[in-house]
Amino acid sequence: SQQGEEDPQALSIQEGENATMNCSYKTSINNLQWYRQNSGRGLVHLILIRSNEREKHSGRLRVTLDTSKKSSSLLITASRAADTASYFCAAPFNTGGFKTIFGAGTRLFVKA
């Protein structure tokens, strides 16, 4: 059972365009995290949004969280070829423990 599920599975855009990825989750959460993975490498933590926050910014990244719909979105503005990667959302189960489920990811390809 996937706690986080990303949509779309793949996205291809031109450099300079914005990229939006969505994530849905199933149970209540304390926070939701977004990660980036370059091909075959380890994941890199991008941004975390807590359950009492609705929107958060970090550089060209904007994350929103709608706990009523159990969904989040990641917006990358003015995309660059270097943004080409897979993006994952991760939602820790709200148990005080650390069982964290990742989705299958969105593969983003930014064409120069």
Partner 1 sequence: EAQVTQNPRYLITVTGKKLTVTCSQNMNHEYMSWYRQDPGLGLRQIYYSMNVEVTDKGDVPEGYKVSRKEKRNFPLILESPSPNQTSLYFCASSSAGTPGYTFGSGTRLTVV
Q: Are 65 and 47 in contact (CB under 8 A)?
A: no
Site for partner 1 in 11-50 (CB under 8 A): 30-31, 33, 35, 40-45, 48
* 101 is an interface residue for partner 1 by CB under 8 A: yes
**What does residue 109 show for φ and ψ, rounded to 5 degrees?**
-120, 120
Q: Which is nearer to partner 1, 76 or 91 (CB)?
A: 91
Q: How far apart are CA 29 and CA 16, in angstroms?
A: 33
Per-residue tokens: 41: 């490498």
* 51 is an interface residue for partner 1 by CB under 8 A: no
| Longest CA pairwise span in the chain (Å) | 44
Q: Which is nearer to partner 1, 19 or 105 (CB)?
A: 105
Q: Which is nearer to partner 1, 19 or 89 (CB)?
A: 89
Give yes or no for a cis peptide into 8 (omega within 30° of 0): yes
Q: Residue count at the site for partner 1 (CB under 8 A)?
A: 25
* 57 is an interface residue for partner 1 by CB under 8 A: no
Q: In this structure, is the dihedral angle defined by the CA atoms of residues 107, 63, 82 and 43, taken in order, positive or negative? A: negative
Q: Which is nearer to partner 1, 9 or 18 (CB)?
A: 9
* Residues forming the site for partner 1 (CB under 8 A): 1-2, 30-31, 33, 35, 40-45, 48, 88, 90, 92, 97-105
